[in-house]
Chain A
Amino acid sequence: MARNGGVAWMRTTEKIDGYDLSTSDTEEVHVLAVDDSLVDRKVIERLLRISSCKVTAVDSGRRALQYLGLDEEIQKKETNGFDGLKVDLIITDYCMPGMTGYELLKKVKESSAFREIPVVIMSSENVIARIDRCLEKGAEDFIVKPVKLSDVKRIIDYTTTELREGEQREGARARRRGINKRKQREGDDDLSSSPPSTLSSSTSSSPSSSIQSATAPLSPSTLDSPTRRLKMTSSE
């Protein structure tokens, strides 16, 4: 369900520092954008807002971890536990002073609470070794800067699909936990084979699932991203 940017402005509110304390809107994707560059932060924020996302933009990996509640130093002091809204996606610059995007990626993927959050890396340098390293560490995708609207739309599309699939799986699991035991047995079989079937039905498939189930058929549209082509070859 593609959201029309023209409709979105009625719903999203403009925040200066991006800390949105309103209750979570399950329809909108909440993105944590991390970039030390003022210009890039402004642009990525706008790109995300126009793609109907809630955005929290921070200027360093450290602040990103603080926002998530992963910063060890802060955690002990933080009694009111400001963790803001649930983050659905992290999009981070690679080259940053202090903590690089790669280090942030590592920290997120190593945490039990946040490892499920997809992380997208942005970089002005199109270095294969760098891309590989990030993907191996669990990055969802790698965007070469300057970032375009099409890049953002692509990422939001499959994040939304993944979220919806996740919710569907949750819902299906809940239904299966229901009364009928016979259905429960069949449901377990369904669960193990469900990723490929959902992938083939959706036009914007998840590339991370393609690594887990290498046999999953992907539609041509998912091969737009060079990273995905890379992932396809590395998973084969």
Chain B
Amino acid sequence: MDRNRLHNQVASMRRSLFDQGYLDDQFIQLEELQDDTNPNFVQEVVTLFYNDSTRLIQNIEQALNSRPIDFCKLDDYMHQFKGSSSSIGAKKVTNECTAFREYCNAENAEGCIRSFQQVKQEHAILKRKLEVYLQTVTSFSNSMSCMETILSYIAYTIISSSLYIENMDKYGKLFGTTPQTELGVDKCLTTL
């Protein structure tokens, strides 16, 4: 069944994101903040992070290209970057940020430039993975709500039918019954 496949896909994607160290506990905190009143919370935070961090990446690029390099400013930008990435549980990205800041504190320009490549790489990898994962989650929850709609319709039909059958004698007096109808009613009642 499609839904089961989706469910398994979601579960295994999620597991590997944690197992491979892309995400940590903080991501679980975000998931726990999502509910019926805020069904897209995780997606919203992730989107916000990627918009915000793209801006920071541009700032860092600029700072790294300027001569002389303002390490203070760099550290400031990276501090913000690291803060946001740790707030969404982006483990690998956060670790690369930490490495960068060490080169920054040592005023090692070469180290900073190399380290920054790593930051951008992890940032991009996680972005792709999260896009796919969250899309799958959305597909799954859409399929769930589809099933819920179908199931509730079926339930509604059963309940209203049983109500009708229970009151069949009353309706029967209204509409008139035949022996065949009464037999049919008994069959319905036994199956239900």
Instruction: Place the interface of chain A in its size category.
Output: 20 to 34
Is the beta-carbon distance between B29 and A148 smaller than 8 angstroms? Answer: yes
Is the beta-carbon distance between A46 and B48 smaller than 8 angstroms? Answer: no
Contact status of A37 and B37, CB under 8 A, knowing A42-B45, A148-B29: no
Interface string of B71-96 (1 = CB under 8 A from A): 00000000110111011110000000
Is the beta-carbon distance between B33 and A39 smaller than 8 angstroms? Answer: no
Task: Indicate the member of A36, A37, A146, A147 with the most B CB atoms within 10 Å.
Answer: A146
* Beta-carbon nearest neighbor of A12 in chain B: B37
* Beta-carbon nearest neighbor of A41 in chain B: B48
User: What residues of chain B lie closer than 8 Å to A50, measured between beta carbons?
Assistant: 33
- Count of A-B residue pairs with CB < 8 Å: 57
Report which of A5, A14, A37, A95 forms a contact with B87, defined as CB distance below 8 A: A37
Contact status of A46 and B33, CB under 8 A, knowing A38-B52, A39-B45, A39-B49: yes
Q: Does B190 contact A (CB under 8 A)?
A: no
* B-side interface residues, number (CB < 8 Å): 24
Shortest CB-to-CB span from B86 to chain A, Å, is 5
Is the beta-carbon distance between B38 and A145 smaller than 8 angstroms? Answer: no
Q: Does A124 contact B (CB under 8 A)?
A: yes
**Chain A, 26-60, CB within 8 A of any chain B CB:** 36-40, 42-43, 46-47, 50
Shortest CB-to-CB span from B92 to chain A, Å, is 15
Interface string of A134-174 (1 = CB under 8 A from B): 00000000000111110000000000000000000000000
User: What residues of chain B lie closer than 8 Å to A43, measured between beta carbons?
Assistant: 30, 33, 45, 87
**Bound complex: CA of A147 vs CA of B45, how far in Å?**
14
* Beta-carbon nearest neighbor of B32 in chain A: A149
* Beta-carbon nearest neighbor of B82 in chain A: A124
Is the beta-carbon distance between B87 and A39 smaller than 8 angstroms? Answer: yes
Given contacts A39-B87, A40-B83, 10 further A-B contacts (CB under 8 A): A9-B36, A37-B80, A37-B83, A37-B84, A38-B52, A146-B26, A146-B29, A147-B87, A148-B26, A149-B33
* B→A interface (CB under 8 Å): 26, 29-30, 32-33, 35-38, 41, 44-45, 48-49, 52, 79-80, 82-84, 86-89
Can you list 18 contacts pairing A with B, beta carbon distance less than 8 Å? A14-B37, A37-B52, A37-B84, A38-B48, A39-B87, A40-B83, A40-B87, A42-B44, A43-B30, A43-B87, A46-B41, A47-B33, A95-B79, A124-B83, A145-B83, A146-B89, A148-B26, A149-B32
